[in-house]
């Protein structure tokens, strides 16, 4: 079976510097310039950030989770608004995850079977069976521009037999998702699994390419595996995945990690890190450093978090003021730090794109700490 790019979508590679790529993804709701960080809005909202503020800081696309939204408020409620774009007031592109990550993160509340995943709801304990066909139906009703196949994401501690079984299910479910998808205005992504096992990664990539997808994701590398083995796996994907298709690394959001995967041919990525750390009082700088604003050292610090940053937080407020908000548990601290952290990653991606275009990516990457 071979895939084709859905109408209204295109992806082109505009420039290269080594393995690093700068590209353009065209969707029905707008253009995404890559490399691109996607803020996570699991329940149809990026925590502590309004759609207008996300536009102002340059967010091009956001991610939501179909598994959560199917339970609360229900896909019928979202569909009654014309889909997620109308429901959440976001006019730019949206990607929905299928719930495959919940197969990993909710291991104590689910049972994987050949036909899908049986879950106990985190909301009311009710039992649900998530199947490839059901995932496609939910994501079509939600109406995101980009949707994901259902996959099995095993933990980093999984043995080879468990990894192999997950690859087999992921490939089979991918074919079922492709067959069940009916809308031609959504781009469907297949997810490569296999842990850090080279043979299983090769098998997974080969089987998904045979099904044929509009784009490919690298899954299962944000669940505990890090370091050189992770990066070697990403390099392997660069060699195996189609060169003309978008590549998505699922679950990375620290500046050093972003630079590392961009250097190995990844185009888009997401993570809760910038929003989650914001809610704990931590600011991310695009050079890889982190500032814990709860630290007493900032009590009388009149400087902005980052003098070179153009976000609303850095344009208008001092470190001392933000520390005051953090210590007093004021909600404004969450908003300001969220916008700062996302803007830092947006600017990091803009820097990477510009550097790729001029052949200076390696120098730019070397300036980012935490690598």
Say how far apart CA 147 and CA 127 lie, in whole Å: 24
Catalytic residues: 97, 270
Tokens of 221: 């590398």
Cα–Cα distance, 304 to 119 (Å, whole number): 46
Peptide bond into 181 cis (omega under 30): no
Q: What is the DSSP string of 188-212?
A: EEEEE--TT-HHHHHHHHHHHHHH-
Tokens of 138: 């939910």
Ramachandran region, residue 48 (left: φ > 0; alpha: ψ -120 to 50; beta: rest):
left
Neighbours of 196 (CB within 10 A): 18
Cα 61 to Cα 35, 36, 48, 153, 299, distances in angstroms? 12, 8, 16, 24, 36
Q: Nearest CA to 347 among 95, 1, 35?
A: 35
Contact status, residue 255 vs residue 368, Cβ threshold 8 Å: yes
């Amino acid at each position: 079976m071979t895939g084709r790019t859905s109408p209204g979508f295109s992806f082109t590679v505009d420039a290269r510097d080594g393995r690093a790529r700068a590209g353009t993804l065209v969707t029905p709701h707008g253009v995404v310039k890559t490399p691109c960080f996607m803020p996570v809005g699991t329940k149809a909202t990026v925590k502590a950030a309004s759609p207008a503020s996300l536009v102002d800081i340059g967010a091009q696309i956001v991610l939501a989770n179909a598994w959560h939204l199917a339970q609360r408020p229900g896909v019928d409620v979202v569909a009654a608004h014309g889909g997620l774009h109308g429901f959440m007031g976001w006019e730019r592109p949206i990607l929905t995850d299928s719930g495959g990550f919940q197969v990993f993160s909710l291991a104590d509340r689910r049972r994987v079977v050949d036909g899908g995943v049986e879950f106990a709801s985190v909301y009311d304990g009710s039992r649900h069976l998530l199947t490839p066909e059901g995932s496609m139906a939910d994501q079509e009703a939600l109406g995101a521009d980009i949707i994901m196949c259902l996959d099995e994401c095993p933990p980093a501690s999984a043995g080879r037999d468990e990894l192999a079984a997950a690859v087999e299910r992921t490939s089979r479910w991918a074919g079922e998702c492709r067959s069940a998808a009916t809308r031609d205005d959504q781009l469907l992504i297949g997810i490569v699994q296999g842990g850090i096992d080279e043979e299983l990664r090769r098998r997974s990539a080969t089987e998904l390419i045979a099904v044929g997808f509009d784009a490919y994701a690298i899954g299962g590398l944000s669940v505990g595996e890090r370091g050189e083995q992770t990066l070697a796996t990403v390099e392997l994907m660069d060699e195996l995945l189609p060169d003309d298709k978008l590549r998505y690394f699922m679950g990375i959001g620290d500046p050093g990690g972003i630079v590392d995967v961009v250097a190995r041919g990844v185009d888009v990525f997401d993570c809760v890190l910038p929003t989650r750390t914001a809610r704990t009082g931590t600011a991310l700088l695009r050079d890889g450093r982190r500032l814990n604003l709860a630290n007493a050292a900032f009590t009388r610090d009149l400087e902005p978090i980052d003098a070179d940053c153009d976000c609303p937080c850095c344009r208008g407020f001092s470190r001392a003021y933000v520390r005051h908000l953090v210590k007093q548990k004021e909600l404004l601290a969450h908003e300001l730090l969220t916008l700062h952290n996302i803007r830092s990653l947006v600017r990091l991606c803009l820097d990477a794109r510009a550097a790729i275009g001029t052949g200076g990516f390696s120098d730019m990457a070397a300036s980012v700490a935490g690598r």
